[in-house]
């Protein structure tokens, strides 16, 4: 598998380099030079394969030998060790639950696969790979869980003291093992600045094998294709996918899957009022702007990082993208109404991101009532207890065991001043 940069088509790197660097130096995004299509043999059998077999065939086809087959199988089966059930709301509207992983959000798919792929590429190194991340809450927890217990790696997380929720702090500090939490006496911006300084420090680079495990890493998108295959094969007619979107990684993964040959009815992008992409789809004007806070906060993105990849896949043609993808956006008031409607009508508790998807699904079905629509439920409602309790009442809130146990675990964190030199010195003394 070879990759180029969306800023420079001359760039030509192997999968290993794209994964370990995350970003090309020209600040573009890595994209596969050639997207392989799945062969007839695959399509004859795909509905009958067990999920892990399906997963291995798709990933192996995309990677084209970048990781040997038996090891790739281990990586895929170890990374995706939780189910992706489809729940039917009614005859035309389905929910694809992507929150059965350890941090209760779909990002577990991408992060867990990336962690194992990075460990594989670092296997011959004497030093473990150090994943250095700054977090304001959720992303750090997902990365920490993804690398937890992955041998040959460790995670060092910086978080701003007193500025993350209690449960989020537990997700960062209670894991132990190869996860170290640094509690910084400062803001999230301080944490980010310190991480940047460490990456630029040449002495640290000499002693530590640093990587950023950035969210736009190409390896994250590859396993995110899998649940689209898994869902689509349960329908006779290709379904319409409704994707609650922020940075549009999830939607980009579906575009990759369609390039491999997956047939879908249509693609619907659902956003909150941070609606840069729906506006582009409706008007051909792309105008990124600062994000606004909403109830569906994982989608509060004003300049979606995967937009360059989406454009690349449509050859920069607005019309081509607008033909395949439709965009809808909703505000918090509408989201609240949707949470209530889904609960009253179907007895199903959605999270605010899924609720935005539900609204877009209804909009699509009112135009095309014959379609089957699959809404991606990107997070477990228990991650948003305030909103769920406010709208649906306490009885609607069920906290899954894997979240509940965290509350009782002790917090272990190293306190640190918001000084670049302190982090650099700490890394020097703890190179592994
Ligand atoms: C990250 C996230 C999204 C947005 O996904 P993108 O791939 O960035 O579009 C939606 N919902 C939840 C719960 C998320 O965590």
Given a contact cutoff of 8 angstroms between Cβ atoms, the answer to whether 306 and 246 are in contact is no
- Looking from the CA of residue 252, the nearest atom of ligand 1 is 7
Measured between alpha carbons, how far is 373 from 371 in angstroms, rounded to an integer?
6
182 lines ligand 1 (CB under 6 A): no
Pocket perturbation via mutation, ligand 1, pick of 29, 103, 106, 248 by most ligand atoms within 8 A of CB: 106
Domain that holds residue 316: 83-104+220-399
pLDDT class of 209 with cuts at 50, 70, 90: confident
In a domain, residue 111? The reply is no
- What is the predicted pLDDT for the residue at 243? 98
Pocket perturbation via mutation, ligand 1, pick of 137, 220, 246, 355 by most ligand atoms within 8 A of CB: 246
The conformation of residue 327, written as its DSSP 8-state character, comes to: E
Going from the Cα of 431 to the center of ligand 1, the distance in angstroms, rounded, reads 33
SS3 270: strand
The helix or strand, by DSSP H or E, that contains position 97, with its residue range, turns out to be: strand 93-97
* Residue corresponding to tokens 């991606």: 376
Query: What's the number of domains the chain is made of?
Result: 1
In a domain, residue 358? The reply is yes
pLDDT digits (tens, 9 = 90+) for 67-104: 999 999 999 999 999 999 999 999 999 999 999 999 89
In a domain, residue 375? The reply is yes
In a domain, residue 302? The reply is yes
Q: Looking at ligand 1, which residue's alpha carbon is closest to its atom 15?
A: 298
* Residue corresponding to tokens 């170290």: 180
- Looking from the CA of residue 379, the nearest atom of ligand 1 is 13
CATH number at residue 363: 3.40.50.1100
Which of 418, 313, 400, 380 lies closest to 99, judged by CA?
A: 380
Q: Looking at ligand 1, which residue's alpha carbon is closest to its atom 8?
A: 247
SS3 323: helix
- What is the predicted pLDDT for the residue at 405? 84
pLDDT digits (tens, 9 = 90+) for 308-320: 999 999 999 999 9
381 lines ligand 1 (CB under 6 A): no
Going from the Cα of 247 to the center of ligand 1, the distance in angstroms, rounded, reads 7
Measured between alpha carbons, how far is 152 from 313 in angstroms, rounded to an integer?
35
In a domain, residue 30? The reply is no
pLDDT class of 166 with cuts at 50, 70, 90: confident
- Looking from the CA of residue 383, the nearest atom of ligand 1 is 13
Which of 56, 101, 55 lies closest to 82, judged by CA?
A: 101
Going from the Cα of 175 to the center of ligand 1, the distance in angstroms, rounded, reads 23
In a domain, residue 39? The reply is no
Neighbouring CB atoms inside 10 A of 187's CB total: 14
In a domain, residue 362? The reply is yes
Measured between alpha carbons, how far is 384 from 412 in angstroms, rounded to an integer?
24
Going from the Cα of 421 to the center of ligand 1, the distance in angstroms, rounded, reads 34
pLDDT digits (tens, 9 = 90+) for 92-138: 999 999 999 998 989 999 999 999 999 999 999 888 999 999 988 77
Got the DSSP string for 165-186? -HHHHHHHHS--TTEEEEEEES
In a domain, residue 282? The reply is yes
Going from the Cα of 129 to the center of ligand 1, the distance in angstroms, rounded, reads 26
215 lines ligand 1 (CB under 6 A): no
250 lines ligand 1 (CB under 6 A): yes
- Looking from the CA of residue 224, the nearest atom of ligand 1 is 7
Going from the Cα of 312 to the center of ligand 1, the distance in angstroms, rounded, reads 21
More confident residue, 400 or 381: 381
Going from the Cα of 419 to the center of ligand 1, the distance in angstroms, rounded, reads 31
Does this model's pTM top 0.85? My answer is: yes
- Average pLDDT on 381-409 reads 89
Measured between alpha carbons, how far is 18 from 219 in angstroms, rounded to an integer?
8
β-sheet bridge partners, residue 159: 183
């Amino acid at each position: 598998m070879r990759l180029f940069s969306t800023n420079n088509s001359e760039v030509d790197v192997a999968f290993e380099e794209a994964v370990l660097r995350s970003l090309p130096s020209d600040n573009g995004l890595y994209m596969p030079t050639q997207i392989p299509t799945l062969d007839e043999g695959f399509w004859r059998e795909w509905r009958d394969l067990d999920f892990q077999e399906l997963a291995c065939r798709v990933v192996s086809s995309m990677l084209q030998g970048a990781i040997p087959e038996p090891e790739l199988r281990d990586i895929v089966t170890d990374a995706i060790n939780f189910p992706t059930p489809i729940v039917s709301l009614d005859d035309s509207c389905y929910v694809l639950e992507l929150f059965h992983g350890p941090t209760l959000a779909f990002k577990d798919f991408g992060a867990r696969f990336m962690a194992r792929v990075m460990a594989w590429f670092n296997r011959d190194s004497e030093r473990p790979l150090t994943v250095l991340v700054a977090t304001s809450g959720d992303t750090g927890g997902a990365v920490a869980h993804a690398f937890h217990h992955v041998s040959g790696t460790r995670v060092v997380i910086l978080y701003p003291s007193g500025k993350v929720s209690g449960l989020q702090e537990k997700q960062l500090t209670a894991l132990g093992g190869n996860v170290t939490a640094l509690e910084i006496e400062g803001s999230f911006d301080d944490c980010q600045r310190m991480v940047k300084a460490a990456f630029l420090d040449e002495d640290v680079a000499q002693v530590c094998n640093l990587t950023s495990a950035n969210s736009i890493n190409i390896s994250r998108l590859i396993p995110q294709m899998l649940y689209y295959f898994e869902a689509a094969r349960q329908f006779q007619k290709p379904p319409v996918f409704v994707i609650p979107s922020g940075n549009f990684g999830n939607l980009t993964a579906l575009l990759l899957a369609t390039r491999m040959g997956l047939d879908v009815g249509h693609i619907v992008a659902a956003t909150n009022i941070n609606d840069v992409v729906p506006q582009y789809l409706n008007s051909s004007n792309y105008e990124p702007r600062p994000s606004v806070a909403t109830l569906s906060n994982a989608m509060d993105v004003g300049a979606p990082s995967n937009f360059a990849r989406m454009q690349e896949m449509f050859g920069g043609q607005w019309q081509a993208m607008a033909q395949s993808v439709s965009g809808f956006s909703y505000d918090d008031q509408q989201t609240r109404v949707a949470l209530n409607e889904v609960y009253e009508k179907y007895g199903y508790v959605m999270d605010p991101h899924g609720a935005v998807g539900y609204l877009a699904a209804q909009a699509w079905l009112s135009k095309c009532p014959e379609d089957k629509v699959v809404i991606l439920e990107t997070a477990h409602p228990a991650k948003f207890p305030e909103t769920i309790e406010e709208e649906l009442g306490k009885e609607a809130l069920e906290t899954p065991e894997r979240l509940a146990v965290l509350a009782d675990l002790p917090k272990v964190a190293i306190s640190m001043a918001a000084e670049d030199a302190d982090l650099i010195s700490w890394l020097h003394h703890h190179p592994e």
